[in-house]
Amino acid sequence: MPNFKTQLLILILVLVPIVALSEPQAVEALLRRLDSKRPPASVQEAAAKAVLKRLLPTHVDSFDFKIVSKEACGGQSCFLLNNNNLSSRQGPEIQIKGTTAVEIASGLHWYLKYWCGAHVSWDKTGGAQVVSIPKPGSLPRVRDEGLKIQRPIPWNYYQNVVTSSYSFVWWDWERWQKEIDWMALQGINLPLAFTGQESIWQKVFMDFNISKEDLNDFFGGPAFLAWARMGNLHAWGGPLSQNWLDQQLVLQKQILTRMLELGMTPVLPSFSGNVPAALKKIYPSANITRLGDWNTVNGDPRWCCTYLLDPSDTLFVEIGTAFIRRQVEEYGDVTDIYNCDTFNENSPPTNDPAYISSLGAAVYKAMSKGDKDAVWLMQGWLFYSDSSFWKPPQMKALLHSVPFGKMIVLDLFADVKPIWRTSSQFYGTPYIWCLLHNFGGNIEMYGILDVVSSGPVDARTSENSTMVGVGMCMEGIEHNPVIYELTSEMAFRSEKVQVQDWLKTYSRRRYGKIVHQVEAAWEILHHTIYNCTDGIADHNTDFIVKFPDWDPSSNPISNIPKQNQMQMLLALDRKRRVLLQETSAHLPQAHLWYSTQEVVNALRLFLDGGNDLSGSLTYRYDLVDLTRQVLSKLANQVYVDAVTAYQGRDVKAHSLHSRNFVQLIKDIDVLLASDDNFLLGTWLESAKKLAANPTERRQYEWNARTQVTMWFDNTKTNQSKLHDYANKFWSGLLGSYYLPRASTYFSYLSKSLRDNKDFEVEEWRKEWISLSNSWQAGTELYPVKAKGDALAISRALYKKYFS
């Protein structure tokens, strides 16, 4: 017969699952705490009105905004649209109520889209189309009973931890203000807020006797801060000046103030264990491990092999607590949600679940000692990228190492590889369904619209679902506006969207009118470009921007330097690897998931509708982007033809195809120059604009140039392992960087054929790497304004290559 202690243990084990059934209340408690931090209704209403004024200054008096309680929305977040009862033609026409200013802005956007046929996207993807909005006094009325849209889940999350480097790095407050307006209109209420954290770290580490000189070796340069924060590298592109640190802290305070005024909950960083090398000397008994190499060419200690403080060490909790408290001291009590990715592609030293649980508990302890209500937001990428380590026992140990409701997981790659399906809803842990979509800020038309329109609903309505949000976690922004608009809407939709119908309204809103040829083009794009179902993460590997570094003379793949076998392995951040196709002929193979001929037909339809849309900036952007996409895929085939001719020792054919490849680069460069949003000069000038002196100006420009080209270190004969990771289709970059690279490569191949000698691949690498390094250090100016008629250029190129 069991004794009393055994009976008590059995009783506890039986009762635990019962308690777990009511634990979702912890999420409700978190929501109530976050609601209590929001500013007064008057502040939020004024912030929403300011968004309207910046978007539609002519219609400021046409709308009445009002904050309401969740009780008015059935206990959830929502917005309500109603007609204002006017006794005269004076005063607001439409009343929009919402539980926060974000809800009000979302309601405004919903009304402008579905009653006025308007469209809002990033400036660099064509901007806002508001011509279709009627004049004040003539706005369309909603139905008499009004409209109420409730969020089916609490959160709409935004950003990847590297977006701050690939997209936001050179932004000033003016650009940030536009972004936060866009976020509010899209309904984003849980954004990452990572700007300026190095200034906080400087103060924290100096309290632990780390000098400013030591931190010069710890922080990365401006364009590489994301990877220094993650412990991938140190010092690369640095050091950071005090001007940068101070400037970014001021900017962060402006960002947080505006987010809070709009009722958003910012997600702040926390301590992941990444520490300066000097800390090991100051605390010799601390459990500090030097990590292995991350993508340097030869393990250069100047930038590789950073130091990690083990979460089990008491110093970890001390530093982590100090960092949280310093943020609260600097910013105020603005959030309870903190991001930490200690184990993201940095596996624990043992797979023992008990040890993993203790590490997770230590990470959370560092947060909770700094903020007693802290919630740990963690990227779930590790469960996909390192699935061989993170089996169910290890996942459960980490996910259950903190109290329920104190961790939220981002199902980061749910658009392609959803983890919630294979992990029993993250074993009961709340998670956010996320779209990853983009790597390196590459410019590529790509997406899976049918998954975006259904995936969040499938996750939310699945059995025992713990989904609490929809998120957008792209590495870079300002591309594929159709994908991000639909994803944002899914945070407000309870049912799946019929994509074909939605695209018709999208086309009409984006361009401000009905053009049947363009609508027909979008039908094609839906089932081709925007229907990538092959499971491959789309990192742009088109040969113009990701030029193969190999010797095609014999056994091609084995001749590619090990660190550059991009044809077979696509290197992603932190040693991520996604298998690509390999042709039977062992030729490089760029990612292609659709019929190119069908997309050429879509381009023809786009051009046919051009006369009706020639003044539209959104049409111009889409036309240039689609023409670029079509020509880039054509260039991939031309490249293969050139290499095949070389392997067949066909001098004439090789000469023809290599000239055609080079000409395509030139033609695409001219095309891209016709739209302001595809210019290298904009990126470089925004970097230089932040500099306070000539030294910073040179440093920032080098950072900007290097990130989009070589990325990391190289030797005289070995390119960076990450070269072209952040490639861009920008005019100026094609003409001055990608063009000479292809030209010199093909000239070496031609010489090999003419002289009947082996291809001097090492000589080509020496020449090209030298040219690249010179370009990275260059200061030549590039245009920041478009030139040429995009429609005429696109038509001419279509006629040249396809008619």
Confidence (pLDDT) at 87: 58
pLDDT band at 182 (very low <50, low <70, confident <90, very high): very high
- Per domain, the residue ranges of the chain are 23-150, 155-513
- Asked whether the beta carbons of 62 and 92 are under 8 A apart, the reply is yes
Query: Is the link from the previous residue into 418 a cis peptide, with omega within 30 of 0?
Result: no
Look at residue 322 and tell me whether its pLDDT is greater than 50: yes
CA distance to 187, 428, 487, 708, per residue, from 15 (Å): 39, 16, 40, 56
Amino acid identity, residue 472? M
Amino acid identity, residue 50? A
pLDDT band at 584 (very low <50, low <70, confident <90, very high): very low
H/E element holding 389?
none
In the three-class reduction of DSSP (H, G, I as helix; E, B as strand; rest coil), residue 724 is classed as coil
How large is the average pLDDT for residues 554-583?
40
pLDDT band at 23 (very low <50, low <70, confident <90, very high): low
Exposure string for 179-207, b = 16+ CB within 10 A, e = fewer: bbbbbbbbbbbbbbbbbbbbbbbbebbee
753-798 per-position pLDDT tens digit? 999 999 999 999 999 999 999 999 999 999 999 999 999 999 999 9
Alpha-carbon dihedral sign for residues 420, 226, 490, 38: positive
187-228 per-position pLDDT tens digit? 999 999 999 999 999 999 999 999 999 999 999 999 999 999
- Residue 491 pairs in a beta bridge with none
Alpha-carbon dihedral sign for residues 685, 687, 689, 693: negative
From 195, 230, 472, 192, select the one nearest 343 (Cα to Cα).
Answer: 230
- The residue ranking higher by pLDDT, 105 or 566, is 105
Look at residue 557 and tell me whether its pLDDT is greater than 70: no
- C-beta atoms surrounding 663 within 10 Å: 15
In the three-class reduction of DSSP (H, G, I as helix; E, B as strand; rest coil), residue 220 is classed as coil
Amino acid identity, residue 157? Y
pLDDT band at 572 (very low <50, low <70, confident <90, very high): very low
Tell me the backbone φ, ψ of residue 140, rounded to 5 degrees: -60, 140
pLDDT band at 538 (very low <50, low <70, confident <90, very high): confident
CATH for 155-513 is: 3.20.20.80
Which DSSP letter does residue 333 get? S
In terms of CATH, what superfamily is 23-150? Chitobiase/beta-hexosaminidase domain 2-like (3.30.379.10)
Percent of the residues in the chain that have a pLDDT greater than 70, as a whole number: 92
Q: What is the torsion angle, in degrees rounded to the nearest 10, for the CA atoms of residue 253, residue 254, residue 258 and residue 260? A: 10
> In angstroms, rounded to a whole number, what is the distance separating the alpha carbons of residues 592 and 602?
17
pTM of the model: 0.93
How large is the average pLDDT for residues 299-317?
95
DSSP notation for 471-506: EE--SS-SS-HHHHHHHHHTTT-SS---HHHHHHHH
Exposure string for 381-390, b = 16+ CB within 10 A, e = fewer: bbbbbbeeeb
623-632 per-position pLDDT tens digit? 999 999 999 9
How large is the average pLDDT for residues 725-745?
98
Look at residue 316 and tell me whether its pLDDT is greater than 90: yes
